[in-house]
Chains A and B, each alone.
Chain A
Amino acid sequence: MKLLAVTVSIGAAMLVMATAPSYAAGGDAIFKKSCASCHYTDGPAKEKTIADQLAKKGPELWYAGSKFQKAWLGAWLQDPKPIRPLKYNSLTDKNKGDHPKSSAGDAAALTDYLMGLTSPEVKAGVIKPAATPQAKQIFNKKMPCGGCHATEKGGGLSGPSLVGAAKRLNPDWVYAYLANIKHFKPVRDMPDFGSVLNPKDLEAVAAYVATFE
C-alpha cells in the first residue's frame, strides 16, 4: 500500500512537471501570441535594405537580454511609457503611447523570456557608470548625440530618448552598440560612430549614458 502511494505521488509529480510549462516557455508562448506581430526575436539581424527596416512595426528584440535591465523591463511591460518621441519609423507622427500593457504575471514571464535573448558581442561587467569630462565633451560637442536623442536637458526627437537610460539600458550593451552598430542594426538612421571614435572614447560615452536619470 505504501509502495503504491509513493508510486502514485511520484507519477503525479512527473505528470505535473510534464504538463506545466516552465516559466521561460510561458514567456515564449505569450510573446508569440501578443508581441511577435511587431517584434522579432530570432537573430541575427535580418534587415538588409531601408525598405526592410521601414517594414518593421517595432524594434527587433533578439538581443533584448543584452540591451535592457531586467527590473526596468518587467516594470515597463506593465506600464509602457513611450521611449521614442515619434512613432517607430516615422519622422512625422508622434508616439501615441499605445504599446499594449501586460499583467504582472505576463510581464514577469515575458521578462524572463526576453532576458534570455542575448548577443555574444556584449561583454558583461566592463562599463561602469561615470560622467567624465572626456565623455561630456564627446556627447555634447564632438559628436552631439542630443541632435537626435533627448536627455533631461532636451534634445532631438528622431532617436529614442536617453532619459532614464541609467535604469533602462545595460551599459555594456551601449558600448557594444556604439562599437559595432552594424551587428545589431545593419540599417538605421544613426551614424556608425565605431569608425570615427576610438574604443576608449566609446567606453566613456557608454559610461556617461549609464548615468542618465
Chain B
Amino acid sequence: MSRIVMTAAVALGLALSAGGAAQAADTKQVFDFYCAQCHGEKGDGKGINVTKDFATDPRDFTNTTDMAKRSDDDIRGVIKDGGPSISKSPLMPPWGATLTAAEVDGLLVYIRKMCNCKGK
C-alpha cells in the first residue's frame, strides 16, 4: 500500500514539475513577445526600442534594490493598467486587455526571478 502511495506521489511530483517547466517556458515566450521590445530579453531595460528618442529608461528588472521596493500588486497593476497607474511613464502601456490574469501572474513570477527579490 505504501508503495502505491509512494509511486503515486512520485508521479504527481513529476507531473507538477513538468507542468511548472511548461509554464515557465510559456512565460518566457510571453515576456519575449510583449515585454522584451522595451525591457530587453534579459529584463535589463535595454530593449530594441530604447533609442535616443525614448523619453525614459524602461525598468531594469535585474536591479534587486529597486525592484524590491515594488509590491506584487504594483507590478501586476502596472502591467495591466500602464505606467501612470503607479505615477510612472505612459511609455509603459496598459496590457490588461491583451494578457490574461494567468499571464500577468506568470510575468510577475518571471520578473521576481530576474530581480531575485520579493516585494515589500
Q: Which residues of A contact B (CB under 8 A)?
A: 50-51, 53-54, 86, 91-92, 141-144, 146-148, 153-158, 189, 191-196
Contacts and interface: CB of A to CB of B under 8 A. Distances in A.
Contacts of A92: 48
A146 B53 contact: yes
A158 B47 CA distance: 9
B38 A191 contact: no
B95 interface: yes
A156 B36 CA distance: 13
Interface in B66-82: 82
A144 B34 contact: no
Nearest to B83: A144
A196 B97 contact: yes
Interface residues of B, number: 26
Interface string B12-48: 0000000000000000011011101110010000011
A50 B33 contact: yes
Contact of B93 (A53, A143, A157): A143
Nearest to B49: A156
8 contacts: A50-B29, A146-B53, A147-B93, A148-B37, A155-B53, A157-B48, A157-B51, A189-B33
A23 B29 CA distance: 43
A195 B54 CA distance: 25
Given A142-B90, A144-B90, A156 B96 contact: no
B49 A195 contact: no
Contacts of A194: 97
B54 A156 contact: yes
Given A155-B53, A189-B34, A196 B94 contact: yes
Most buried by B among A53, A147, A189: A147
B48 A91 contact: yes
B26 to A, nearest CB: 9
B52 interface: yes
Contacts of B29: 50-51
B48 to A, nearest CB: 5
Contact of B48 (A50, A86, A146): A86
Contacts of B54: 147, 156
A50 B93 contact: no
Nearest to A154: B53
B9 interface: no
